[in-house]
Structure 1
């Protein structure tokens, strides 16, 4: 594992997993929210975002966490490992609540995550497995056939996956 893509629903634990894995393996982590949004939480133009991702994956080792299905093929094609966090909606919503409590709302720049909870976002999370996950699986099949695919469906499975590299449970 030297070029790792971490994807999954909002609140599934992508940022935490990527950070712990990066620290344990000594691999730099890129949180795509921090790349996509500027300090005022305005998004990059699509081609600029794609160009930055091409630059990230051109380096020898990296972990990239974030969804962004429109540019996911860039990361998948360059990955040797893809970690798909396929948690149930309730677990993701609980993860969002925990994140909000931890950071007291707002943006925590170290991971580039802005804690903006809207009804649209809640609907997205609730429908992710039904609407978005099939698209993600299709992109993985199309662009990451060469990579090891790891699908984790619970926080317990995430802990088991991380156990060889990290000493304690993270949730």
Structure 2
């Protein structure tokens, strides 16, 4: 696990899993939201966003978290591991509610997340498994047949993965 792409619905826990794995593996972490949006929540043009990712994936070791299906092939081509957080919509909605409560809204500069809960965002979360999951799975088949795919369907599974990786790292050192 040297080049890890972490994908999943908003509120699924991508940032949390990425931070924990980066700590355990001592790997550089990039939150795509922090690249895609500036401090005024303006998106980067798609070609610049893709170019930024092209630069990131040449690294020997990295963890990149964020969905962005339009540029997912860039990450898939270079990744050796993909962690797909495929959690139920209710869990993801609870995740964004917890994040909103914890940070009290606003933009979190360290990971680029902006707590902007809109009806469109809620609809996106509610429909993710029906609309985005098949698209992501198709991209995985097309651009990532070489990756080790780890699909997690609960927060408990995510915690067990972190524990397992931590145990493996401790047994190596």
Counterpart mapping for 1:1-171 below 5 A: 1-166=1-166
The alpha-carbon deviation at position 145 of structure 1 amounts to 0.5
Decide whether the 8 Å contact of 1:8 with 1:85 is kept in 2: yes
Within 2, Cα distance between the matches of 1:72 and 1:101?
A: 30
Secondary structure (helix, strand or coil) at the match of 2:139 reads helix
Within 2, Cα distance between the matches of 1:164 and 1:141?
A: 26
The alpha-carbon deviation at position 166 of structure 1 amounts to 4.6
Structure 1 segments, 4+ long, off by >2 Å, are 164-167
Within 1, Cα distance between the matches of 2:103 and 2:28?
A: 23
Deviations 1:27-57 (A, max 9, x none): 0000000000111110111000000000000
Q: Hey, which of these two has a bigger chunk of helix by percent?
A: 2
5+ long unaligned stretches in structure 1: none
5+ long unaligned stretches in structure 2: 168-173
TM-score when scaled to structure 1? 0.96
Query: What's the RMSD between the two structures over aligned residues?
Result: 0.9
Decide whether the 8 Å contact of 1:20 with 1:166 is kept in 2: no
TM-score when scaled to structure 2? 0.95
* Count of paired positions: 167
